[in-house]
Structure 1
Amino acid sequence: MNTQNETMVIAKTILDQIKSLDRWFLMAVGAHNYAALSTDEKRAGGLEFKVRGLHHTGWCKIELTYLDTYRIYFINKKREIVKAVEECYCDQLIQILDFVEGR
């Protein structure tokens, strides 16, 4: 599999994991402008998307680390990181992403 396909597979897998935990979450936070993140020295790939939640409006960036955990960033409209979570497992994605809604 080439790098471009791997990038898309990782991004789709992250989306599928979020949807399997809460099928309405992405729609509830107004998620849009999805982008797959390419591989670099810190990540194996990832997904970034824009949200319009009650508590956070901006971007959510989910990176798959080489240790098979996720690193999640919440980025505001000024492109500043307002919250970062290291070493998240797939079953914790919704719990952490709920920061967008402020629950």
Structure 2
Amino acid sequence: MASTTTRRIATVLRVPLGTVHYHFEHKQQLFEAISDTFCATGKEWVAAHVTAGMGLTAAAGAMARAFSPWVARTPADQLTEFELGIWALRTAPAVYAKL
């Protein structure tokens, strides 16, 4: 994560570097967007197993049962999210001191 640069990201994605910087001021914003995407996907998956009026206990159980298969189906996403989280914990003081 630390060695990732917006230039390398643009190269891998085969887009102009300016395109990356047009959408993201710095790689922290890009990493946050990636994390938000993973979270949204997980929420959608879990929410599909909950229905209005099912009650809190039943909803919590349905969410727990839905979450595990989703994690098992998306191991690369889970690893990426974990690495993003660890990177954020390590760099947060330095990143937020600059803002």
Asked if TM exceeds 0.5, the reply is: no
Larger helix fraction of residues: 2
Kindly indicate whether structure 1 or structure 2 has the higher relative contact order, using CA contacts under 8 Å at least 6 residues apart: 2
TM-score when normalising by structure 1: 0.26
Larger strand fraction of residues: 1
TM-score when normalising by structure 2: 0.26
Tell which structure's C-alpha radius of gyration is larger. Answer: 2
